[in-house]
Amino acid sequence: MLWEGDWRWRGGCVAEGAFDWQSFAVALCLGLLFLVLGLVLRIAQQTHDAASFRKDHRLQIGDMVNKVGDLHKWHDQRDEDGVFVWVLRRSLERQISELATAVRNLSESIKETKERK
């Protein structure tokens, strides 16, 4: 059982020119082994990718839940009368309008005073 010059296996019980079923079976088993190994590695990679994908989305969903919770806490704030802080009362709106008018009148009177001098 030695290798000879033309790199063909000679020896054993295989006659010259006959098909070597044993070598074929070994080659077939090795090929199937590589295919199965490649399939296992691909499935492992896809499982890892899917797990990291789910983990990323869980983190994003967790952040979104926290932001919605913060928004709800802010939106639910009430003043001492029990009215939501974000509600603009009609009396407050009227006072702001009157304040804006007073500021406008004050600035006009300051301009008139400067023009007289």
Residue 7 lies in a domain: no
Average pLDDT score over residue span 56-83? 84
Per-residue confidence (pLDDT) for residue 1, from 0 to 100: 46
Number of domains in the chain: 2
Residue 9 lies in a domain: no
Q: Which residue has the higher pLDDT, 11 or 60?
A: 60
What does the alpha-carbon distance between residue 74 and residue 112 come to, in Å, rounded to a whole number? Answer: 45
Residue-range definition of the domain harbouring residue 42:
19-76
On whether the CB atoms of residues 3 and 9 are closer than 8 A, the answer is yes
Q: Which residue has the higher pLDDT, 32 or 4?
A: 32
**Model confidence band, residue 115 (pLDDT cutoffs 50, 70, 90):** confident
